[in-house]
Amino acid sequence: MKKLNHSFQKIKNEWCRLLQYAKKHKFGIMFYTALGVLSSVLSLFVVVFSKNLIDAVVEHQNREVLKNALLATAFALSSFIISSISSWVVAQISTKISTEMRHELYSHIMLSKWSSIGKFHTGELINRLEGDISAVSNGVVSFIPSIFTKSMIFFGSFAIILYYDKTMAILALLSAPILLISSKYLLRTMRKYSKLGREHNGKILSFAEESLQNIIFIKGFDLTKDYIGNFKSLLLQSRHVSLRYERFSILLNLTLSVIGLAVSYACYGWGVYRLWQGVVTFGTMTLFIQLAGGLSSSFSSLTSLVPQAVRISTSSERLNELSEADIEQDFDKEKVLRMKEFLPCDISLKLSDVEFSYEDAIPVLRDLNLDIKNGEVLGIVGASGEGKTTLLRLLLGLISPTKGKLTITINGETVDISDSTRRLVAYVPQEINLFSGSIRSNLLLIKPDATDDELIETLKISSAWDFISNLPDGLDTIITPQMKNLSLGQQQRIAIARALLADCPILVMDEVTSALDYKMEEKVLEQLMSASKDKICIVTTHRDSVLKYCDKVYECLPYV
């Protein structure tokens, strides 16, 4: 019982959030609701005039036949037209909400702290941006109006039947107690399968994205069949969950259909009996049959809103997990921008008694003290897993130290390293991040107003212009998917040039020459160091050849 109450509470909380969001579009939703209610009312009028039409035909009242035929047709056509308008209105509102939600969530993800959002796989983030937002945006628009329209059909049908025959009204509602009694079990089961289905879909997307990104590695180690087998296993697990839910749905629908059929036959039998008694007319009996079926189906439709509410609240809960991620505050933005105005100038980077550990684990870094000034090159060495990447994340403000301080001082003004101070740091990652588009567009990401002369100058420093100038399209060469038309060394040199365009006082490079041969490495480093005399340069490396360019070397050692 506690679990069930907890489920109800979670659904209630999620819907409270959704209703707050729906308020932004209340006029559009109210208009759509009004159209739906009007269409439902017109459909009820069609039934009533159809009843009058049949009675007029039986009694050979020609004028009444024509009158009721025209009215039934007019109301039916009006209902169809309004339904079409409703479809267009709901498309307008749902796409608008979907666009807004996608923009808001994408913005939140991009602005979130790396430590908060990094636990989610990219494929899972995409799954939530697409699948969950689609479920929620459609639900926000259609769910509430559906309650009103289906309720209108239900209560309207019940009122009409009750007006003509109270016993018939009672018979038409025979399925209601059964559905109400079973609703708690249905709610718990639907929520369970809805959540499982979304989670499995996220795993499939994550696996597919990761394997396609690393297809060269997979082929290179002859892991193709292993990955195909693993992907099939994920699909089979998802299929197993889907089949279990389908089996549950089929049994549920079968039960409801049998109940509905029994109710329909009971209503039909009662109608025939009343007709045989001469109490009702043929038209009234037809009305009974139509409305009894409509009453039963509209009640089933109302109960079918429960699984829809569960699916929507489940997706909303998954989106809320992302929206709860901590946002980078950028508190020192103005201060950093003011400090950056005085560049180039005297600048120093200081780490005082810095310690860092991931989630109360053994410290990755401890008692770290460094003092680096502009014009100096710091080399960071150490075995894999000993803290080099962690140190770079600290310098980039992606994570905060467990103990100690990291500060940057420019012309005597000091600021703690945070998300704000990234404006002072140019970064060349070990995993090369070139984007779809041309070489030019990749460079202009950093400095949109850069001239071709500026682009060429930085490319010459990184020795990238040597090969770009010989390409048929030069700077406008399109980087193909997975960068098949560029070698790793060429990509690395473009990434270095892109970082230089930022013209930041601190240049951080992670294994920046790992894809270059020793001759090219020497050429690039000499040109790079010459162009960065007034900067602080920090480079991680496994190569001793790089260390000769370093003024200071820090070795990351395992915690003892």
**Per-position pLDDT tens, the chain of length 560:** 444 455 556 666 666 677 766 777 778 888 888 888 888 888 888 888 888 888 888 888 888 888 988 988 898 898 888 888 888 888 888 888 888 888 888 888 888 888 888 778 777 788 888 888 888 887 778 777 888 888 787 788 778 877 877 877 777 666 666 656 655 566 667 667 767 777 777 788 778 777 776 666 577 667 778 878 888 888 888 888 878 877 777 776 677 667 766 776 777 777 777 778 777 777 877 877 777 666 666 666 666 676 677 778 778 888 888 888 888 888 898 988 888 877 777 889 999 999 988 876 788 888 889 999 988 999 988 877 778 888 988 999 988 999 999 999 988 889 999 999 999 999 988 877 788 789 999 899 889 999 999 999 999 999 999 999 998 899 999 887 665 678 888 888 999 999 999 888 999 998 888 888 888 888 988 898 888 888 999 998 888 888 888 989 888 776 65
Residue of 532, 524, 529, 540 whose CA lies nearest to 506: 532
Give the torsion through C-alpha atoms of 168, 171, 172, 174, to 10 deg. 170
Cα separation, 194 vs 188, in Å, equals: 10
Q: Where are the domains of the chain?
A: 2-323, 333-556
* Mean of pLDDT over the chain: 81
Cα distances (Å, whole numbers) of residue 53 to 50, 161, 235: 5, 18, 56
- 2-323: CATH topology is ABC transporter transmembrane region fold (1.20.1560)
Q: Which residues share a beta bridge with 351?
A: 370, 406
Identify the residue whose tokens are 């060394």.
489
Q: Is the pTM of this model over 0.75?
A: no
Place of tokens 């010989």: 470
Q: CB neighbours of 372 closer than 8 A, spacing ≥ 6? A: 348, 349, 350, 378, 536, 538, 552
Q: What does the alpha-carbon distance between residue 305 and residue 303 come to, in Å, rounded to a whole number? A: 5
3 state DSSP class of 548? coil
Is residue 348 a contact partner of residue 373, using CB atoms and an 8 Å limit? yes
Q: Per the omega criterion (within 30 degrees of 0), is the bond before 481 cis?
A: no
3-state secondary structure labels for all residues of 202-254:
HHHHHHHHHHHHCHHHHHHCCCHHHHHHHHHHHHHHHHHHHHHHHHHHHHHHH
The owner of tokens 């996220």 is: 202
CATH architecture of 333-556: 3-Layer(aba) Sandwich (3.40)
